Amino acid sequence: MPPEQDRFCSSCRSALTTDPFPSCPRCAATIGPFAFATLTDGCPKCWHSSFRFERVLRLGPYDGLLRDVILRLKHLSGDVLAELLGELWAERAEARLREVRADAIVPIPLHWRRRWSRGYNQSLALARGLAARLRLPCRPNWLRRIRYTPMQTAKAPSARQDNVRGAFRASPRVSPGATILLVDDVMTTGSTASEAAAALRAASVGRVVLSVLARAHG
């Protein structure tokens, strides 16, 4: 049995890793059984959105036990849980994650002020768990948050893009042409991840694919 499964009972593993709904390949939003969505055009929820990442892979919707666990990750005691959850995530979604053919895993960074107040970056802990299972390098230093921004949840959806514009900068150590698996815990509108992907693209990476634990309602 994989070591991460020692920490989750079978019912919890199923609840955390079973996605009961179809989702859009472009924005990962839940779509109806008769909705039409493609990687190129997306779904009705993202037709008019512009993203700098190629597509989104989600573990599930922001609901139920997965939502409860993500909220727990916001606390200092969540770092071990986040890493174990990252390993479980990679174990259950390994085939889809490997199809990306990523060269490195990069977590969405926190500004140092928020990281100091929280005690750790949950996206980094998740990325480490994913990297350990997938045997890929985790490169948290390839992306830095250079501007402190108010919490996105405190902003209206229409204001979130402006809130994070210019908030990230890629390191000169980024490998040109690399395929990056960008990791975050929750995606709502995609503004934060898109801005992070834009910074990586400006550093000449080849592709950026976003992977999130959960997709919230945007």
80-126 residue pLDDT tens:
889 999 999 999 999 999 999 999 999 999 988 888 877 899 999 99
Q: Which amino acid is at 203?
A: A
CATH of the domain at 190: 3.40.50.2020
114-172 residue pLDDT tens:
888 778 999 999 999 999 999 999 999 999 999 887 667 656 666 777 778 889 999 99
Q: Answer yes or no: pTM beyond 0.85.
A: yes
Looking at the structure of the chain, the number of domains it has is 1
Q: Which domain holds residue 204?
A: 3-215
